[in-house]
Amino acid sequence: MKPSQRINLALSRVPAWPLYIVGGLVPFWYLYLGLTGGLGVEPIEALEHRLGELALQGLIAGLAVTPLRNMTGVNLVKFRRAIGLVTFYFVTCHLLVWLVLDVQILSQIWADILKRPYITIGMIGFVLLIPLAVTSNNWSIRKLGPLKWRRLHQLGYAAAILGAVHWVMLAKGFQIEPLVYLGIVVLLLAMRVPKAVKRAVA
């Protein structure tokens, strides 16, 4: 038996539901740290940043499932829905921290969305993720059909790019980490191009 087959056999015994529990608790843990001084002198900014970074990491994890399967044979598809929904949860928490704890004033929120490009890009990415979260269930797959459902969920590609660009634009000065995340997203998307071209030609 190949190593990838052994890994897949072990993964088949692992349920996806613990991801929901762990993911659901993470923002509350960071909130606790913020309230008890564990996030430094700017706890709101730190909380906002950490939730945003978690969301981007979740988007990258979701994008990595298919290339990982193609390259190594390790199949994490059964966890992809949980990864996607937990990621949307992180994005929503990131947005709520900005809305409720950071800006607070409704008129200022709209002004920031319209006038600050990095916020505009981040909001567009969030909006693109909403239909993905809403249709991440078996009923939607049956209703839309597998082909339309897969096409709809390709919005996640754009959301990942926008999320990475959002962080690059938000970063003050030249910072390597946001660029690394952007590079990883671009690489994971580029790895899908040959297969997409092959399907189009066929």
| Per-residue pLDDT reduced to its tens digit, 40-71 | 889 999 999 999 999 999 999 999 999 999 99
175 Cβ partners below 8 Å, 6+ apart? none
What pLDDT, on the 0 to 100 scale, is given for residue 103?
A: 81
* pLDDT for residue 14 is more than 80: yes
What pLDDT, on the 0 to 100 scale, is given for residue 148?
A: 95
CB atoms inside a 10 Å sphere around CB 11 = 14
What pLDDT, on the 0 to 100 scale, is given for residue 200?
A: 53
Residue owning tokens 């044979």: 73
94 Cβ partners below 8 Å, 6+ apart? 48, 51, 52, 54, 55
Measured in degrees and rounded to the nearest 5, phi and psi for residue 40 equal 85, -165
Residues 145, 45: contact at Cβ < 8 Å?
A: no
Question: pLDDT tens digits, residue range 102-115?
Answer: 887 777 788 888 88
pLDDT band, very low/low/confident/very high, at 201 (cuts 50, 70, 90): low
* pLDDT for residue 198 is more than 70: no
Task: Report, as an integer, the average pLDDT of 68-92.
Answer: 95
Residue scoring higher pLDDT (2 or 126): 126
What pLDDT, on the 0 to 100 scale, is given for residue 197?
A: 56
Proportion of the chain above pLDDT 70, given as a percent: 96
* pLDDT for residue 193 is more than 90: no
Question: pLDDT tens digits, residue range 109-148?
Answer: 888 888 889 999 999 999 999 999 999 999 999 999 999 9
* pLDDT for residue 202 is more than 60: no
Query: What is the total residue count of the chain?
Result: 202
What pLDDT, on the 0 to 100 scale, is given for residue 108?
A: 79
Q: Rounded distance, CA 180 to CA 164, Å?
A: 9
* pLDDT for residue 180 is more than 70: yes
What is the DSSP secondary-structure string of 9-65?
A: HHHTTS-SHHHHHHHHHHHHHHHHHHHTTTT-S-HHHHHHHHHHHHHHHHHHHHHHH
What pLDDT, on the 0 to 100 scale, is given for residue 199?
A: 59
Name the residue among 62, 43, 65 with its Cα closest to residue 54: 62
Quote the pTM value.
0.92
Q: Rounded distance, CA 15 to CA 18, Å?
A: 7
For the chain, count helices (H), then strands (E). Answer: 11, 0
* pLDDT for residue 172 is more than 80: no
Residue scoring higher pLDDT (4 or 128): 128
